[in-house]
């Protein structure tokens, strides 16, 4: 099996949080404001709660089979064939996720900073970095994730604090958004936007225990909820809801309106930094997971030879969408509204199967004792 | 007439074709050729030499003292690489053969009779020993028979060892390989007939530099000593600081041809033995022709040969070495080099300067931050400048932008070319500055840079802002406390320039991220290079902010030292006590 | 690691081969538009005027030759002005590239100017490019000018220093010192045009041809110097002369994307006071105890105005509480207003004047245009629970029905460097006789 090394809880929280919040640097806040207007900033917390609930169900599954990661559990609980199928679905899902994420990133880069650069150049460089990260392995990604997390937090604080002259608390009224029903409905549906946290189940062996798994998952969800909520809140405060829903990237727009004096303005560079960092970490995780899940499910001891073929697949995915509207309406919408049907419901299905078949991770428990 | 005929001859020689005198040209023959030739020689010599030798022996040489009784024990063992013969002639012959004494005139063999009774000889290499010691404290007591009176036992060697020789270090040597090595390192060997061992006397006396001021790691506060080329001195300098009975020095010989002596130093019982083992394993596992000191050792034992940043700390300061040893690291010394290498290190150790610890906490922290800023400039500034001026003009304040554009109006080159031009010339000045002799060198570096920059601006080759950028970059680079790290940063800078010009900020961040994952996966003797940050370990009180010394209670976590605590929670016990002379301050806030 | 290096090398190679750096522009390959002006076109939809600095050297940045013999014709303060007619702003700029030798960049544009004529017809078509186009920054100033934008820009020059961009940014900043005009970044203007809470407004500017000021030695001039406070003026009307023709005064009021009218200088001040944007300014009132004498105050807001809104029988009621502080600048009549009892009088007087002014201004916006530039809608929104209801109510339509109560508290805090003013003596009367009068 692949030797993944150990990562600390704080590192796990860092990468998981980055994984969850990267979407807030893209179109996500705009979409949320469009769906829920002024209610967006707290309705997203509903999504977090929903995701926490589903995550706890996942935790039940993991607790049932201690010492196994999700791929192993699929095999044990659902049988060799079905288990492999599930694993492959996840592997494919993560390839798709990386691809769409890269494409979204590239569209943003092109829209804001490099409008005339051929996208393939941006993608190839990005893929290069991602391959390097996946090559370094989970430990490297986690360590870099922790470092980036600090930078990202500092950058976020700078970007969110500096435009305060534009903030007007009255922009949050009327508080109800499009009504409680709409808020709840979209809030629950968009639990998918926080479903990525389930990836921790695949690296649970590096986390040193299911307790840490639960801790890392819940804390990072809470973090992500606070951060994304704040970003949406600040976007509303500065732009009011009609313009808030127009913006391609709320954060970038916020960083562009900073104006203090003739000298202190135009700080969007800070944003480019944290933007690329977050995207690199996120895509590295998904890409690494895609490869490692594939290798784990077929019990291939070395994952590195698969990096290039998978990178090619990912590259193909990035070419799928034809234009930015397709990305926004089809792909990211799918990821952020319906991905939980894959990410959460397959494990839950497996849990149900396990309960019905009465499977339990007994062997490992004996070993532990 | 003779002159005339000569001139005539010369005249003719111009007219007539004459075979030119053949000039033999030297060439270096192949090794096989040489070997073949030698074999031929041996064959011929074998045929011819023996009678000659006998002749010459018979005629020229007076019979040596040792030759007197030679025939009596004819069945003595022959001296070879493994065994030391009990016969003095054999041993002399062996040493002569080993050192090619017939041509190699540095070898001195001095035969004499100890107390007019025992045949003996001393052997040493001329120039490597202290003649004073050999004359006064070895030869004189041995030749002087007084001490031997009343001692008539057959083998007096133990007696000689204990009571006669007046040198400070003596040891018996029972292997010929050690004999050779000891002689090579400047010891004087004494052999007394009938023994199967030598006595090695410590008489090293080759010229060495004194202890001087550090050259590349100068500080304002703190000790001003630096290592020199003598291994013993260097080790002593460290020992002088760490007066601890557990401080251990182990020696390892390195280099097939030059047998350079290396030493590793650590505190036994505190340093993690695994680190010591690993250092020894790697050192012993080196099979190399010549070892020119720890600069070469570093390259042979480091984890990754292609690493951009050094993974071994090199220092010329005994105090810094001592501080690291006490933290639980291992220091590697090598004879002939005024540097010590410290392993394992983290990046933070590379960017700390010994001064940090000597200065008071606020000053030390300030200096450290300034240094970090310098590193940032040195690495990124030219890259950022290119990215901003080529991709993100909106970042420059309008007035400055227009000023830059005005200044650039007559400059025919693109910014990238200007930057590369200036960077390269700056590097040139720096490299040349080292080699420019004497006093001129120091001033020329600065003046050269100034003049070059000024002239380049006036000649419309580069824009003035760029000069500032390059100058700040250079200054930042000099602020990096570790020379090797500074070199790595110089390399990286060009990387950032390339990525900056290709893709602007995106490229720069991309390279930062690549560099990040690279550094994060680097290890120095099992310790991740970025340890204490990534992977995260217990918080270090000496990373970016240098906390007060009494707050640094633990040794670096990642070294897994056997004794974790550096000092008790309360180091300043006096704060807990009342002063001897004290009065209560009534009504004042404490 | 070797593989990593290989990949790196490969990536760099690809980049060099594809020469992906199509986004790279040297600083001096571009010109940076400082100001864009939009007029109604004659041949085409819009007439665009842009102003950009030249890169001609003043020699190391010291003394520049500006406006002097060395400069080109049409060069204004080291800048060039170009005008073109086109179908849209962006294409217009593109068309200008046919004649301008360098790429025109928007990244440093400080100001966009609409002519009044155009603003009245609606600026919808011209907001989009700025909001959507990546180069244009939303922190640029937006100005509506009287007359044509083309003339306006031609007169946009700097006399004090060399840097026009600095002059432009500082000119807009003068709003803080006087309060005669608001400071409106594009961001705010654009948000307001699509906002359900409020309507847009912006700086109103114009060119002063120095004709309103009559020459002192002219004929038929009576110099009786009447006191006129609340000098309500439009751009171009200030009686002044000087070098810079451009003046910012008052503000243009928009209904949606169309300009519907303008507020004059003092109305602007009242507006700024009511919305809490007023920083400081000299505010002159007439001494009610001594008509004809003025009392200038250094006025500022004591705290942000408190606005609240609620519905009474379906009628929106807005309460605005404003608290201003003032320092005495002068008392021309030399009446001892510094005394405690008199200073309260003065406070009340000042408060009344400001309250009246604000109420008048609000009424003007309600009755003349029905546009809520004050942003009362944000407070009205507190009374709705969902956006759907709020949008159905459509505050912007109901603004004119709102009852607005303004409550002003004024407080003269300091009296400058004098605690009292002694009367001025002359050779006629004694002080006592004067007081008796």
Query: At residue A300, does pLDDT exceed 80?
Result: yes
| Residue showing tokens 């709102």 | C402
The pLDDT value given to residue B156 = 62
The pLDDT value given to residue B496 = 92
* Residue A43: exposure state from Cβ atoms within 10 A (0-12, 13-18, ≥19): buried
Report residue B523: phi and psi, to 5°.
Answer: -130, 150
SS3 A202: helix
Under 8 Å between Cβ of C384 and C398: no
Which residue from C187, C185, C384 is spatially nearest to A240, judged by alpha carbons? C187
Count chain B–chain C contacts defined by CB atoms under 8 A: 79
The alpha helices in B302-397, defined as continuous H runs, are 318-327, 347-351, 354-358, 361-390
Report residue B67: phi and psi, to 5°.
Answer: -75, -10
Cα angle for residues A36, A39, A41 (degrees, 5° grid): 105
**Domain-located, residue A100:** yes
| Long-range contacts of A82-91, Cβ-Cβ distance < 8 Å, separation of 24 or more | A83/A297, A84/A297, A84/A298, A86/A346, A86/A350, A87/A293, A87/A294, A87/A296, A87/A297, A88/A294, A88/A297, A89/A342, A89/A346, A90/A202, A90/A289, A90/A293, A90/A342, A90/A346, A91/A289, A91/A290, A91/A291, A91/A293, A91/A294, A91/A297
The alpha helices in chain A, defined as continuous H runs, are 9-21, 28-36, 40-64, 70-112, 119-161, 180-189, 210-244, 250-256, 268-297, 307-318, 324-326, 333-338, 340-343, 345-357, 362-368
CA distance A203 to C39: 63
Least confident segment among B9-13, B152-156, B162-166, B303-307: B152-156
Which two structure tokens, joined as six digits, stand for B532?
Answer: 């204490």
- What does C86-120 look like in DSSP terms, one character per residue? ESSHHHHHHHHTTTSSSEEE-TT--EEEEEHHHHH
Q: Determine the residue of chain B that is closest to C60 in CA distance.
A: B407
CA distance C188 to A171: 13
The pLDDT value given to residue A133 = 92
Contact C24 B518 (CB under 8 A): no
Under 8 Å between Cβ of B233 and B324: no
Residue to test with chain A: of C139, C387, C388, C392, most A Cβ within 10 A: C387
* C23 contacts in chain A (CB < 8 Å): 113-117
SS3 C72: coil
Mean pLDDT confidence for B125-145? 83
Q: Determine the residue of chain A that is closest to C171 in CA distance.
A: A262
Contact B517 A132 (CB under 8 A): yes
Q: How distant is the alpha carbon of residue B174 from its chain centre?
A: 31
Distances, alpha carbon C77 to alpha carbons B409, C28, C122, C210, in Å:
18, 19, 32, 20
Residue count (chain C): 437
Other beta carbons within 10 Å of B585 = 8
Q: How distant is the alpha carbon of residue C194 from its chain centre?
A: 20
Query: At residue B213, does pLDDT exceed 70?
Result: yes
* B518 contacts in chain C (CB < 8 Å): 4
* B308 contacts in chain C (CB < 8 Å): none
Mean pLDDT confidence for A308-337? 85
Which two structure tokens, joined as six digits, stand for A305?
Answer: 């030879």
The pLDDT value given to residue C74 = 57
Residue B155, C-beta contacts closer than 8 angstroms, at least 6 positions apart:
B194, B195
Under 8 Å between Cβ of B568 and B557: no
Residue B266, C-beta contacts closer than 8 angstroms, at least 6 positions apart:
B247, B248, B275, B276, B325, B329, B330, B331
> Tens digit of pLDDT for each residue in B215-273?
888 888 888 889 988 888 899 999 989 888 889 999 988 888 878 888 999 998 888 88
Contact B391 A114 (CB under 8 A): yes
Query: At residue B67, does pLDDT exceed 80?
Result: no
The pLDDT value given to residue C172 = 83
Contact C137 A256 (CB under 8 A): yes
Mean pLDDT confidence for B507-524? 90
Other beta carbons within 10 Å of B46 = 9
* A121 contacts in chain C (CB < 8 Å): 14-15, 18, 20
CA distance A105 to A26: 7
| Residue showing tokens 């090695």 | B200
CA-based torsion, A7, A10, A11, A12: positive or negative: positive
Q: C281 to chain A nearest CA, in Å? A: 20
Under 8 Å between Cβ of C401 and C315: yes
CA-based torsion, C132, C136, C138, C142: positive or negative: negative
Which residue from C137, C134, C122, C145 is spatially nearest to C49, judged by alpha carbons? C145
> Tens digit of pLDDT for each residue in B227-242?
988 888 899 999 989 8
Cα angle for residues C321, C325, C329 (degrees, 5° grid): 145
Arithmetic mean of pLDDT over chain B: 81
The pLDDT value given to residue A154 = 92
Which residue from C363, C387, C382, C38 is spatially nearest to C195, judged by alpha carbons? C387
CA-based torsion, B168, B171, B176, B178: positive or negative: negative
* B535 contacts in chain A (CB < 8 Å): 7-8, 11, 139, 142-143, 146
The pLDDT value given to residue B50 = 47
Report residue C273: phi and psi, to 5°.
Answer: -60, -45
> Tens digit of pLDDT for each residue in C15-49?
665 555 677 888 888 888 889 998 988 888 889 99
Query: Helices (H) and strands (E) in chain B — how many of each?
Result: 19, 12
- Which of the two residues, B541 and A358, has the higher pLDDT score? A358
B506 in contact with A, Cβ within 8 Å:
yes
C7 in contact with A, Cβ within 8 Å:
yes
A151 HSE (CA, 13 A, CB side)? 22
> Tens digit of pLDDT for each residue in A7-62?
888 889 999 999 999 888 888 888 888 888 888 888 888 889 999 999 999 888 88
> Tens digit of pLDDT for each residue in B152-211?
555 566 777 777 777 788 888 888 888 888 888 888 888 888 778 888 888 887 777 888
Contact C27 B401 (CB under 8 A): yes
**B129 preceded by cis ω (within 30°)?**
no
B549 HSE (CA, 13 A, CB side)? 11
Other beta carbons within 10 Å of B153 = 8
DSSP A265: B
Which two structure tokens, joined as six digits, stand for B319?
Answer: 């105090």
Other beta carbons within 10 Å of B293 = 21
B457 in contact with C, Cβ within 8 Å:
no
CA distance C280 to C278: 6
DSSP C367: I
Other beta carbons within 10 Å of C403 = 11
- Which residues form the domain of A331? 9-357
Distances, alpha carbon A243 to alpha carbons A170, A239, B83, B565, in Å:
15, 5, 95, 58
The pLDDT value given to residue A224 = 92
The pLDDT value given to residue C15 = 62
C112-141 residues touching A, CB cutoff 8 A: 131, 134, 137-139
Cα angle for residues B124, B130, B135 (degrees, 5° grid): 80
| Residue showing tokens 């303060």 | C77
The closest CB to that of B391, out of C24, C165, C166, belongs to C24
SS3 B410: coil
CA distance C16 to C33: 32
Q: Determine the residue of chain A that is closest to C16 in CA distance.
A: A121
Instruction: Kindly list the domain boundaries of chain C, sorted by start residue.
Output: 28-213+230-263, 276-437
Q: Determine the residue of chain A that is closest to C388 in CA distance.
A: A178
Distances, alpha carbon B575 to alpha carbons B45, B548, B550, B579, in Å:
87, 15, 12, 9
> Tens digit of pLDDT for each residue in B407-425?
888 888 888 888 888 888 8
The CATH number assigned to the domain holding A341 equals 1.20.1740.10
Q: How distant is the alpha carbon of residue C348 from its chain centre?
A: 29
Under 8 Å between Cβ of A78 and A64: no
Which two structure tokens, joined as six digits, stand for A140?
Answer: 């490297």
Q: For the whole prediction, is pTM greater than 0.80?
A: yes
C213 in contact with A, Cβ within 8 Å:
no
Mean pLDDT confidence for B317-330? 90
SS3 C309: strand
> Tens digit of pLDDT for each residue in C397-419?
888 888 999 999 998 888 888 87
Terminal-residue alpha carbon distance, chain A: 23
Residue C333, C-beta contacts closer than 8 angstroms, at least 6 positions apart:
C287, C289, C290, C293, C295
Q: A269 to chain B nearest CA, in Å? A: 8
* B398 contacts in chain C (CB < 8 Å): 32, 34, 108, 110, 163, 165-166
Under 8 Å between Cβ of B265 and B323: no
CA-based torsion, B438, B442, B444, B448: positive or negative: positive
* C66 contacts in chain B (CB < 8 Å): none
The class (CATH top level) of C276-437 is: alpha beta
Which two structure tokens, joined as six digits, stand for A193?
Answer: 């936007």
Under 8 Å between Cβ of A271 and A248: no
Q: What is the mean pLDDT of each run of 10 residues along chain C (437 residues)?
A: 72 61 80 89 88 71 40 65 87 86 87 89 82 83 89 84 83 86 89 89 88 76 74 80 85 89 88 89 85 86 90 89 89 81 86 91 89 88 88 87 90 83 75 56
Which residue from A38, A106, A44, A45 is spatially nearest to A243, judged by alpha carbons? A38
The pLDDT value given to residue B53 = 44
Could you give the maximum distance between any two Cα atoms of chain C, in Å? 105
């Amino acid at each position: 099996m692949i030797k993944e090394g150990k990562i600390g809880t704080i590192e796990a929280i860092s990468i998981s949080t980055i994984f969850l919040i990267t979407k807030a640097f893209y179109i996500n806040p705009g979409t949320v404001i469009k769906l829920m207007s002024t209610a967006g900033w707290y309705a997203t917390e509903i999504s977090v709660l929903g995701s926490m609930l589903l995550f706890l169900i996942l935790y039940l599954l993991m607790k049932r089979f201690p010492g196994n990661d999700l791929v192993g559990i699929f095999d044990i609980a659902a049988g060799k064939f079905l288990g492999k199928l599930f694993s492959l679905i996840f592997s494919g899902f993560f390839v798709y996720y990386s691809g769409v994420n890269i494409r979204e990133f590239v569209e943003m880069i092109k829209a804001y900073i490099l409008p005339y650069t051929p996208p393939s150049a941006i993608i190839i460089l990005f893929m290069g970095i991602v391959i390097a990260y996946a090559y370094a392995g989970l430990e490297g990604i986690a360590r870099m994730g922790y470092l980036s997390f600090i930078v990202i937090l500092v950058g976020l604080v700078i970007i969110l604090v500096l435009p305060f002259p534009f903030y007007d608390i009255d922009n949050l009224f009327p508080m109800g958004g499009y009504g409680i029903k709409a808020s709840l409905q979209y809030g629950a549906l968009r639990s998918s936007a926080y479903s990525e946290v389930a990836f921790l189940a695949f690296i649970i062996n590096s986390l040193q225990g299911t307790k840490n798994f639960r801790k890392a998952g819940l804390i990072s969800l809470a973090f992500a909820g606070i951060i994304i909520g704040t970003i949406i809140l600040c976007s509303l405060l500065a732009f009011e809801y009609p313009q808030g829903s127009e913006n391609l990237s709320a954060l970038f727009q916020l960083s562009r309106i900073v104006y203090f004096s003739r000298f202190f303005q135009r700080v969007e560079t800070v944003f480019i930094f944290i933007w690329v960092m977050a995207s690199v970490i996120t895509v590295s995780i998904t890409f690494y997971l895609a490869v490692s899940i594939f290798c784990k499910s077929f019990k291939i001891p070395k994952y590195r030879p698969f990096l290039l073929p998978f990178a090619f697949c990912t590259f193909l995915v990035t070419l799928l969408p034809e234009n930015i509207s397709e990305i926004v309406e089809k792909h990211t919408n799918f990821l952020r509204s319906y991905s939980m049907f894959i990410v959460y419901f397959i494990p839950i299905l497996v849990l149900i199967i396990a309960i019905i078949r009465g499977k339990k991770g007994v062997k490992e428990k004996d070993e532990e004792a | 007439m003779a002159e005339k005929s000569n001139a005539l001859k010369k005249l003719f020689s111009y007219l007539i074709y004459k075979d030119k005198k053949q000039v033999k040209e030297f060439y270096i023959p192949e090794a096989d050729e040489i070997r073949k030739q030698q074999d031929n020689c041996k064959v011929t010599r074998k045929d011819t030499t023996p009678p000659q030798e006998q002749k010459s022996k018979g005629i020229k040489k007076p019979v040596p003292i040792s030759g007197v009784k030679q025939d009596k024990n004819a069945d003595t063992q022959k001296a070879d690489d493994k065994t030391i013969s009990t016969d003095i002639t054999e041993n002399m012959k062996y040493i002569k053969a080993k050192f090619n004494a017939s041509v190699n005139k540095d070898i001195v063999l001095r035969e004499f009779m100890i107390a007019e009774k025992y045949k003996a000889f001393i052997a040493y290499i001329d120039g490597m020993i202290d003649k004073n010691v050999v004359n006064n404290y070895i030869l004189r007591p041995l030749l002087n028979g007084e001490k031997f009176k009343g001692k008539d036992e057959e083998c007096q060697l133990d007696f000689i060892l204990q009571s006669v020789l007046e040198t400070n270090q003596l040891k018996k040597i029972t292997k010929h390989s050690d004999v050779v090595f000891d002689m090579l390192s400047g010891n004087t060997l004494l052999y007394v007939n009938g023994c199967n061992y030598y006595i090695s006397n410590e008489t090293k006396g080759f010229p060495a530099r004194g202890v001087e001021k550090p050259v590349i790691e100068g500080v304002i506060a703190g000790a001003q000593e630096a290592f020199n080329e003598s291994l013993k001195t260097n080790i002593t300098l460290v020992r002088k600081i760490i007066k601890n009975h557990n401080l251990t020095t182990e020696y390892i010989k390195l280099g097939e041809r030059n047998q350079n002596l290396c030493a590793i130093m650590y505190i036994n019982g505190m340093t993690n033995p695994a680190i010591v083992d690993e250092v020894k394993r790697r050192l012993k596992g080196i099979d190399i022709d010549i070892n020119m000191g720890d600069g070469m050792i570093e390259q042979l034992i480091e984890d990754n040969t292609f690493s951009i940043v050094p993974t071994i700390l090199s220092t010329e300061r005994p105090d810094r070495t001592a501080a690291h040893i006490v933290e639980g690291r291992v220091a590697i010394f090598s004879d002939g080099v005024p540097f010590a290498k410290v392993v394992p290190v983290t990046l933070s150790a590379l960017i700390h300067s010994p001064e940090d610890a000597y200065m008071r906490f606020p000053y030390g922290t300030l200096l450290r931050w300034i240094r970090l800023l310098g590193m940032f400039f040195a690495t990124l500034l030219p890259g950022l400048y290119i990215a901003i001026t080529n991709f993100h003009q909106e970042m420059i304040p309008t007035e400055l932008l227009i000023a830059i554009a005005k200044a650039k109006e007559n400059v025919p080159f693109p910014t990238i070319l200007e930057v590369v031009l200036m960077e390269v010339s700056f590097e040139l000045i720096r490299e040349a500055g080292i080699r420019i002799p004497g006093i001129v060198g120091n001033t020329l570096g600065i003046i050269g840079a100034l003049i070059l920059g000024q002239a380049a601006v006036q000649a419309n080759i580069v824009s003035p802002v760029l000069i500032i950028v390059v100058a700040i970059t250079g200054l930042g680079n000099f602020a990096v406390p570790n020379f090797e790290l500074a070199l790595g940063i110089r390399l990286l800078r060009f990387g950032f320039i390339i990525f900056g010009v290709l893709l602007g900020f995106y490229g720069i961040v991309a390279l930062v991220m690549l560099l990040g994952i690279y550094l994060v996966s680097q290890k120095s003797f099992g310790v991740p290079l970025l340890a204490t940050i990534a992977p995260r370990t217990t918080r270090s009180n000496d990373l970016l902010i240098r906390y007060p010394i009494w707050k640094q209670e633990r040794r670096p976590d990642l070294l897994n030292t056997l004794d974790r605590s550096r000092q008790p929670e309360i180091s300043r016990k006096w704060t807990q006590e009342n002063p001897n002379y004290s009065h209560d301050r009534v009504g004042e806030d404490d | 690691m070797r593989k990593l290096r290989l990949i790196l090398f490969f990536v760099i190679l690809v980049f060099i081969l594809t020469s992906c750096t199509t986004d790279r522009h040297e600083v001096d390959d571009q010109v940076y538009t400082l100001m864009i002006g939009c007029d109604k076109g004659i041949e085409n939809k819009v007439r665009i005027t842009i102003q950009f600095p030249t890169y001609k050297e003043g020699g190391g940045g010291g003394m520049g030759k500006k406006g002097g013999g060395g400069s080109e014709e049409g060069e204004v303060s080291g800048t060039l002005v170009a005008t073109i007619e086109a179908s849209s702003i962006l294409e217009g700029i593109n068309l200008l590239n046919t004649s301008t030798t360098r790429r025109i960049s928007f990244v440093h544009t400080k100001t966009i100017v609409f002519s009044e004529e155009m603003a009245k017809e609606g600026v919808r078509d011209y907001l989009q490019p700025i909001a959507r186009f990546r180069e244009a920054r939303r922190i640029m100033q937006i100005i509506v000018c009287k007359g044509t934008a083309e003339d306006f820009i031609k007169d946009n020059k700097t006399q004090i220093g060399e840097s026009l961009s600095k002059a432009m940014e500082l000119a807009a900043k003068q709003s803080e010192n006087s309060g005669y005009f608001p400071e409106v970044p594009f961001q705010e203007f654009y948000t307001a045009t699509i906002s359900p809470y409020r309507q847009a407004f912006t700086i109103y500017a114009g060119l002063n041809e120095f004709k309103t000021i009559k020459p002192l030695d002219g004929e038929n001039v009576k110099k009786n110097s009447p006191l006129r406070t609340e000098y309500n003026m439009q751009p171009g009307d200030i009686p002044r002369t000087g070098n810079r023709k451009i003046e910012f005064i008052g503000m243009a009021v928009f209904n949606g994307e169309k300009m519907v009218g303008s507020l004059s200088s003092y109305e602007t001040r009242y507006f700024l006071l009511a919305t809490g944007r007023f920083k400081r300014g000299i505010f002159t009132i007439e001494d009610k105890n001594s008509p004809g004498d003025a009392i200038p105050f250094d006025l500022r807001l004591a705290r942000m105005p408190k606005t609240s809104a609620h519905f009474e029988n379906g009628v929106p009621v807005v309460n605005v509480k404003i608290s201003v502080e003032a320092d005495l600048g002068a008392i021309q009549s030399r009446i001892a207003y510094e005394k405690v009892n008199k200073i309260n009088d003065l406070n009340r007087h000042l408060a009344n004047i400001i309250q009246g002014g604000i109420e008048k201004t609000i009424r003007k916006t309600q009755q003349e245009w029905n546009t809520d530039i004050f942003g009362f809608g944000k407070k009205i929104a507190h009374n709705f629970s969902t956006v759907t209801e709020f949008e159905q109510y459509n505050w912007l339509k109901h603004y004119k029905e709102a009852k607005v109560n303004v409550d002003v508290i004024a407080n003269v805090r300091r009296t400058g460097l004098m605690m009292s003013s002694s009367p001025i003596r002359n050779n006629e009367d004694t002080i006592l006789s004067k007081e008796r009068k």
